[in-house]
Each structure stands twice: as C-alpha cells, then as structure tokens.
Structure 1
C-alpha cells in the first residue's frame, strides 16, 4: 500500500493560481501536482542544483526523441484543502458507481456541486461502499445524521469528523458554542476575492486599475499534499544531496518565494510542516485506480488504461507561461492531462513530458527541457457492494 508523507502548506496571505482561458480575476483552489513539481525543480536549480540530474530517474517523454524509461525516487499527489485534522480528497468522477439512479435524479445538483470529500468518506468509497445514505440533507431543516456539508456543499464530510474541524469553523464566532450541524453548510473553509491593483505606465505615468483573484483560507485551513517516497536516501548525481534533502531545501525556498502567480504582491508565501500521512488502499492487479495527481499516460499505456468497465476520466488542458533564468518568459506548449479524481486501470504509470516551446528553425531552439509532471498516484477501488 502506498504510504504517504504529508506536507501541509499554510498560506500567509492567500495565493493565486491562474486558470487557462480565464483572466486574472479568477484563481484555482487546489495546487496540481504538475505545477508543484515544476516549482520544486525550478527551486532546486536556483539553489545551485542540476535539474537534469534531478529528473534523470523519472520516466520521460522528450520533445523530439524516444520515451525514456525510469524508476522515480518519489511520486506526489496534487495539493488539496485541509481543515484542522480533516484532509480532503477530490470527488471521484464516476458518480453512478456509488449512487443509485434515483439518488442521482433527486440529488444531482447537490452531488454535482461537491468538489472535495473527506478522508473518511474517500476511504468508504474506495472500499466499495454505496454512498446514497451518507449524503448530507438538503437545505431543509432536518439535522444531518451521517453526512455534513461545508461551504454551501462544496465539501462533504462525516458527522464524526466535525469534531476534528478548526474551532473557528464549528463554533459560533461570538458565543463560542458549537454550531448546529445543518449550520455548517454556511461556514467557509476558503474565500475567493478580487483584489484591486494599479499599474503605472512608464512613459506617461498614467494609472490603470486591474483585479487579481485571491484564495484565502480560514484559520487552521490550507493545502496538503502527499509524497510516496520510494528511494528518499538516493543521492542526486553531482549534487551530493539525497532526494529527501533536496526536496526539503526546494520547499523551504518556495515557502518564502511563493507558489502560483502574483508573487510580487505577497501571494503564495506559506509555512509548511512535514508529518505522517495516510496510507492509500492498494489497487488489485486487474482493478481500478482513483488518481490523486494529474496523469499523462505513456504511449504504451494507451488506450488500455482508459478502457474497460468502471473507468471514467476528465481531461484538462495545461498551458501557461514558463520562467527560465536568462530567457524571456514564454508560452509553453499545451498538454492534455487526466484530472484528479479520474478512475483508470490499476497499472497506470505515466511520465514527465517536455513542453518547451517549438519554433521554426530560423528562430533557434529553446535551450533546455521544460518538464511537466504526469505520473499517476492514487487509491485502489473495490467493486461497490449493493447487497
């Protein structure tokens, strides 16, 4: 079973993570594994490390060559929200697997609105338990007895996990008394706001106002991600550091430097802790895997990992800008990845993909690879038992 080391990020002033095709006014809520890995490699390089040596053990797909096989020293999940001692996971995609047609018809709007499920619920789903009776009630008066909603239904957890939420979420702000369970639907784990900024023209000194989206978390809340270490004490060639040491050094740099966009205005800086994480359920050899990181199937894995009973997936286009020392900021090539929560065959592996920009021969060649992470890490799923 994959045993994770947990890393918790508590943001000092919120963060901004751009969404492809959307202006600065919007920000994503979670931090994808490919964004996190790219930031770690960049921080490793800025600390004096060799990025080529860092990625050498990973399976890779170069921009103009044959796939390179590898055995990664670690795999990581995307970063998802946490609240107190409650970790949240992405809502798995194949809803008919866990809900009857009647439930999907009557509660489709509520189910579609769920973005994250708690660890206890995620484990029940992985174990093959039907989830119809564990849904939180509608906005009508009934008191929840099994499932509870937060943030208007975007977060779903069990009644037992309410005690593990931060006190600021589960108690009245003035009286300090515990809130009724049905009132937790209105409590916010995070807030998305538009923050005004001003840019000044260098020539005319004319000012122009623009807005940037910011995600701010409630006290005791933030993002967590897991790392499945395979060879943490392996030394990176030429650097003298082990992968665990290099990982911690890069994370410490990013804590002050920030993650995401708008870092020059204070976004993205965080404090972090390292601790024992969850153990993910093992997938059976011919079973299914619910992925917790964005996934890029290898050529040899297609179409097999996406076919068969029980598979379901969502594609997401990953584009954006790259930063390279000594080079102007440029658009990297767009890459299609499977989103977190997708369900694929259990033998899914994935690779890193070089997404450096390609130009006509007369314009020269971008000087180094730009690796995007696409390794699969997830939880095995059992068949749903409906008695």
Structure 2
C-alpha cells in the first residue's frame, strides 16, 4: 500500500530562476518540472549520505535494463499554490494543469467562450475535481466564460480563483555583467527571476510551489532521509543563479488534505492524466490510442562540466492516456562524460479522470 504526501515550498522573499530549454537566461518559468526536481533532490541526497547510498537508491528505480522494479517514490512536477484570505479566513488554492481532453459535459457549441477556456492552462483543484471527477462542465460555467470580464469577474469559477493564477507571482529581469576569464572583457546580459507573492504590502495573499509524492513501502523506510535531503536542497536553492541566493525555500511535508485524498483515490476514472513528465522505452503501439498529449524536450548542462546531457523527449503534464504506466529513469550520460552515470526521471505520476464522451473527443484541447 502506497502513501501519498503533499510538499509545499515556501520561497518567502527569495527570487528564483527556473530555466526551460530554449527560453534563454532572460526568461524564467514559474515552476520546476518533475525531472529537474528529482535530479536536484537526488544530488543533495548524495551529498548528505554518500555515493553508495545514492547508488543504492537509484537501483530501486525501474530503468530500460530493469523495467520490473517498483519505484520507491514517484513525484509530480511542482505547481503553484496560493494562500488567499477572504472575510478573515485563509484558504489554500492548489492549481493543477488542465488535462488535454475536454471535461465531462463540455458543450459542442463553444465558439462563444473557447478563447477564454483555452487560456485556463491551470485550474483550481476544486474546479478541476468537479470538471473531471464530478458532475462536469455546467451551463453556469458556459455562461460565466461567455461573459467573463477581467475587470469584474463574477460567478462560481471566479469565486474559486480560476482566473487569478497569474496573481501568484511576478517576473522581472535583472541586468548582470559577465567577465571573460581570458580577456577580462565585459558583457551585459539579463537574467529573468520569478518572485512569489510573500504577503508584503497591501496584498496579504501568499504563494509558492507544491508537489505530490507517492511513497512505496520501501520508500517509506527512506522518508526521513528524503526529507533531510529536501531540507538541504531548500538551503542550497533550486534552479539557476543559486550563487546569487536564488531558489531558496522552506519545505512542509504534509499529509494529504481531504480534497486531495478524494482526488487521488477516485475510482471511477476511465483515463489518466499526467501531473509529471513521463518517459518509457517500451510503449506498446496501442498505448496512444484515444490519447491527447504533448511532448517536451529535456536537455541541459552537466553541473560539474561544460558538456550537455543527451536530449530526451518526454510526455508533458496534462497529457491524457487510457492507461497508466510507471515510467523509467533514462540514462542521459553523453559518451564523452566518464565520471558517472546521469539519469533523468521519466517516472510518472497520474490522476484518474473522466472526460467528454469518446465520440466527441476528436480534438485535443
């Protein structure tokens, strides 16, 4: 029997730089994907407990050579949460990626509101659960999306903070000077940083990132060590520009709130939607039948060298499949790098959902 945990990352006033392939230093993502989180977490696990301990940990995960193994932990990508105060009560809003299939009861005549719907890349958990595990899309939802005004949002979707995802953080660019080590020539460049709402000023609402963890019985035995490594990661920082103090956080390791227990234990789902990246070397030809998915290229540099890791293509969060696979670690060590193996995590984490009737599911949304 596996155990689920929810981990909240509070960045306080610390900025962060989360790079993505192809966006350059001047831009930053607002979150960290599961493979990057896994790599950073395991690296700090190695720093705390040594080479033998981390090799023993990695040997527990399924790979191309050992697909039969059950991973000790499966993690989602990080997503935004907001602590919103209304009428003296503080409520936590967890955002999830909108699955790439239309929700239950989604109407065919959507031209009047489809542009507004399309912009909802992330949904509050309350709305996500209703649309994909509950009664589904309603006539009130349709009317609210048709008449939505950013300056005066009204209705159940607005009350659930559906349209306020961008209030969680702000991004800015910071000018920096690079100095050539040989010629001492200087070069001006800009780096993008994201700041999560910290409750300063007139807006007392706060925000940060969260992710889900599913621990196997073997993973539960390692929980204390994993938490210690995560604490060290918080002190060191996650993402880029850590030498400037970016990416530092404090972590809360929590039991699942009631609504999350309902979501992960939902039994009526015919589909599975990814909340992590996913890679597998042995997909059957029919796996993609009736699926809706996007592909994300993952690359980057090896930390201790100026050599790039091998590129790997993974299914991205929000992709929807008719079945759920565990995924595997993929070895991305380039031939010219000989110090040790380098793994990226394609271990998947999914949630069960229902979608609009199959005969209508001709298009990815």
TM interval, short-chain normalised: 0.7 to 0.9
Deviation at 1:44, TM superposition (A): 1.1
Deviation at 1:142, TM superposition (A): 6.3
| Correspondence 1:57 to 2:60 | yes
1:44-64 Cα distance to aligned partner (Å, 9 max, x none) = 111133322111111112xxx
Deviation at 1:201, TM superposition (A): 3.3
Deviation at 1:244, TM superposition (A): 0.6
SS in structure 1 opposite 2:317?
coil
Q: How many residues align?
A: 332
Q: 1:140 to 1:293 in 2, by over 3 A?
A: closer
1:224-269 Cα distance to aligned partner (Å, 9 max, x none) = 00101122566xxxxxxx4112211110111111111111111111
1:331-357 Cα distance to aligned partner (Å, 9 max, x none) = 001111111011012232211111111
Does the 8 Å contact 1:126/1:379 carry over to 2? no
Deviation at 1:109, TM superposition (A): 1.9
1:168-222 Cα distance to aligned partner (Å, 9 max, x none) = xxxxxxxxxxxxx9xx759721111111111223455443211011111112200
Query: Partner of 1:93 in structure 2?
Result: 100
SS in structure 1 opposite 2:335?
coil
Query: Partner of 2:122 in structure 1?
Result: 116
Does the 8 Å contact 2:268/2:353 carry over to 1? no
1:118-156 Cα distance to aligned partner (Å, 9 max, x none) = 1111111221533253354422776512111xxxxxxxx
TM-score by length of 2: 0.83
Superposed CA RMSD in Å reads 2.7
Which of 282, 306, 316 aligns to 1:339? It is 316
Query: Partner of 2:332 in structure 1?
Result: 355
Does the 8 Å contact 1:10/1:272 carry over to 2? yes
Q: 1:187 to 1:303 in 2, by over 3 A?
A: closer
TM-score by length of 1: 0.78
Instruction: Work out the CA distance in 2 between the residues paired with 1:143 and 1:349.
Output: 40
Does the 8 Å contact 1:283/1:346 carry over to 2? no
Q: 1:312 to 1:195 in 2, by over 3 A?
A: same
Query: Partner of 1:46 in structure 2?
Result: 47
Which of 278, 284, 304 aligns to 1:295? It is 278
SS in structure 2 opposite 1:95?
coil
Does the 8 Å contact 1:289/1:379 carry over to 2? yes
Which of 290, 294, 298 aligns to 1:314? It is 294
Query: Partner of 1:79 in structure 2?
Result: 78
Which of 121, 127, 135 aligns to 2:133? It is 127
Deviation at 1:284, TM superposition (A): 5.8
| Correspondence 1:102 to 2:109 | yes
Query: Partner of 2:254 in structure 1?
Result: 275
Which of 240, 243, 258 aligns to 2:237? It is 258
Moved over 4 A (4+): 140-143, 184-187, 282-286, 383-386
Which ranges of structure 2 fall in alignment gaps of 5 or more residues? 84-91, 199-205, 359-365
